[in-house]
Every structure is written in structure tokens, then in C-alpha cells.
Structure 1
Amino acid sequence: MIVRPPSETEAEGVVAELYAEDLSDDGVVFSHTKAMAINPEAERAFEALIGAIVPSIGLRVYELATLGAARGIPSPHCLLAHGRKALRAGVFDEAQLERVAVDYGDAGLSEADAAVMRFAERVSTDAAGMTDADSQALRDQGFSDRQIVDIALAAAARNYYSRALRALAVPVDRMPGLSARLSTALLTPMRD
């Protein structure tokens, strides 16, 4: 990574808060946190955006949209980080998360969950080609207008963050709490 983030000993203010959050959760400051700490106000604004999205769709749908979008990019940073977040939050157990990572269409997800992942993945791969039919697939699964918008925002936000990390060549960290087998499964889209 060519950009030079503040070191842990140099961190002050919001940067120190960002680093402290990683340290308290995992005992390490992740590379993506360090890169985004160069503009900590943008990082906090991103967190506020996510905070405005999640209440209408819930954590499960948010993580499904995030994983779907991360698959489409593909983003190793977000596949690993959000795989772990989904696991920690109880959205999936390890066996189901592995199945979702390898092939969400054959992972025993509900039709609604699979529709969210398909929609979010398409945001990452062909947003310009999307039509009302893509949103209708979510509506057919019972999602409200607000939820459809927030699923689109969750996927678009993942694109923003993931693509910034990729553009800056931020190293991909080993993710504590993920087995080697699950990490490999989560990175399946990187090999496709």
C-alpha cells in the first residue's frame, strides 16, 4: 500500500478511536482501517450511511447484500470481514456460511435471502443493465420500497468501500475467528 497511514503510536482523535475499536475487538488494527484512517471523517460518514441502512432491512439482509455485492466485485477484504461478521452475529453457523460462500444458490437459503444476494451481486457486476425486473424480484419476496432501496444502498456502499480498498492496494489481512477452510470458501469468487 503506497499511502502511509498514521502509526498506532501517532494516532490521535478519530484515528485513535478507529484503531482502538479494532484493537478492542480483535487485538490488531486491520489494514483496511489504517487505509481509511487517512480520511477518518469519510470512514465515519460511511459508518453513518450503514447505520441508516440496517434498521429497515435488519442485520441478516444487510450481511446477505454485503456478501452478494462482495462476491460480484470480487473483494477479498469484504468477503472475509463480512463472512466473519455474519458468523459472529449468528446470521449463519460455520457450515451454512461455507455453503453460502461456495454457492448461495444451493445453500438452503430462503427464496428471499437468495433474491437479496442475486440482486446485490448484480449491482456489482451489471448495475447499468438492471431494470425494474430486478427490483420486482425483491418485491415478489415481500420487500417494501424502503427495503428495496436499502438493499440497493447496501450493495452500492459495499462497492464504494471495496473498490477503494482495491484501488489503494490495501493488503488483505488474515481474519481472526475464521478457520482456514471457511476463509478458503469465502474466497471462492476470487478463483471463479
Structure 2
Amino acid sequence: MDRIGFLGVPDVGAEARQIFDEDVAEVGYVMSVSRLWAYQPATVTGLFALLRQVNTGDRLSLRQRSVLVTACASAFGDSYCSLVWGGRLAEASDARTAAGVLRGVDDGLSASERAMAAWARKVARDPNGTTAADVQELRDAGFDDAQIFTITVFVALRVAFSTVNDALGLRPDAPLRSTVPGAVRDAVTFGRPIDDAADEA
């Protein structure tokens, strides 16, 4: 492979190789996103450490994080994270629920999750358009102000991550075509198409 997105393939140092090894252990192949961030592996490691730090106090569950990323990534138009996290949400709930969240239909979610999804979409689409009433909807769903801050920072950092990947032409990994449930895959009608060929580890 001589390109990753719109860029040439970076040299792979020890830090990037460690990320690659973690990918292989977790999903069975080196993800394109890891290949891209091999330009600055310390930065992406720091970003995900920051995401973990943001979540330290309020401990958003994997299902809650899946709702937030699926909702914000689809609202933002990021096909890569929508497929990956839509797949994770399908595992935490079911494929129909995950596909619904990708389409902006939250029937399969709890009341608090619906509030989270709605807020994530607003933050991703138009952060200057949010209102005090929008925040009150989160409070009414059971979140305190510290939790609302956590949710908002988490979503904003995920949008920043997606912005880099999308702007530099990253396409979702080819294996996602077969590993993501069909209902989830069919719901992702936006962003860049799934890559044509599987990356080599």
C-alpha cells in the first residue's frame, strides 16, 4: 500500500507498531485509521488517553459511549466511525436499534439514551445552535451538570478525531463490509465508501 487516504504511507516506528499490534489483537487486522495516525502515534495515543480521562469520573458505559459516537458520527457524516461504533452498538443492543440511531430514529433506546443521542447530534451539527432548553432536556433525563459536561467533551473530542480522518480521505476498512451487521451497513449512506481491498497487517 503506497497511500493511506490522500497521504503517502508514513514511516512506522515502535510506537506506531505497538498500535498496529493492538489492532491485530483486537480486530484481527491493522485499521486504516491506525496507519494514518502513524504520522503522529503519540498524538492519537494522547487523544484516547484524554477520552479515557474525560470519562474517569462519570464512567460512561460502553453502551452509552456507543450511543454517543454512533449518533454524533452519523450526524457529522463520518462513515468510518458510524460503521465501527454502529457495530458496537448493535452488539450492546441489537442491529435494528443501532441502524435506527444511525438514521436518527431512537426508538430502541432508553429515555436517557435518547436524550444523549439527541444532544450528540446537536453538538456535532451546530454547537452554536444549542440552547439552555436542550441542556435542560438532559437534566430531565437524569444527568447532572458534571455528567452533561463529560458527555459534551466526549462528543467534541470524537468529532475532532473524525474531522482529521475524513478530511484526509480515510475510507472505512474493507473487513467492515462483512463484520458489521447488514442493517447497520445499509444505514450508513453518507461519508466515504468502504475500502475496496483489505489492508495487510
TM superposition score category, shorter chain reference:
0.7 to 0.9
Structure (1 or 2) with the greater helix fraction: 1
When the two chains are superposed, the root-mean-square deviation of aligned CA atoms in Å is 2.0
1:159 corresponds to 2:162:
no
Work out the CA distance in 1 between the residues paired with 2:113 and 2:26: 28
Work out the CA distance in 2 between the residues paired with 1:72 and 1:97: 14
Q: Conserved in 2, the CA contact under 8 Å of 1:68 and 1:120?
A: yes
Q: Which residue of 2 aligns with 1:38?
A: 39
**Contiguous gaps of at least 5 residues in structure 1:** none
Give the TM-score of the pair, scaled to structure 1: 0.86
1:4 corresponds to 2:5:
no
Q: Which residue of 2 aligns with 1:183?
A: 185
Work out the CA distance in 1 between the residues paired with 2:163 and 2:74: 12
Give the TM-score of the pair, scaled to structure 2: 0.82
Work out the CA distance in 2 between the residues paired with 1:73 and 1:84: 17
Please give the per-residue CA displacement for 1:6-28, whole angstroms capped at 9, x wherever unaligned.
3xxx6332100111111112222
- Give structure 1 regions of 4+ aligned residues with deviation exceeding 6 angstroms: none
Work out the CA distance in 2 between the residues paired with 1:134 and 1:34: 38
The offset of 1:183, in angstroms, is 1.1
The offset of 1:63, in angstroms, is 1.6
Identity rate of aligned residues, in percent? Answer: 26
Q: Residues 172 and 144 from structure 1, CA distance in 2 versus in 1: closer, same or farther, beyond 3 angstroms? A: same
User: In structure 2, which of residues 38, 58, 61 is the aligned counterpart of residue 58 of structure 1?
Assistant: 61
Q: Which residue of 1 aligns with 2:73?
A: 70
**Contiguous gaps of at least 5 residues in structure 2:** 192-201
Q: Residues 18 and 118 from structure 1, CA distance in 2 versus in 1: closer, same or farther, beyond 3 angstroms? A: same
The offset of 1:99, in angstroms, is 3.2
The 5 Å alignment of 1:1-192 reads 1-6=5-10, 11-55=12-56, 56=58, 57-87=60-90, 90-105=91-106, 107-174=107-174, 175=176, 177-185=179-187, 187-188=188-189
Q: Which amino acid aligns with 1:3?
A: L
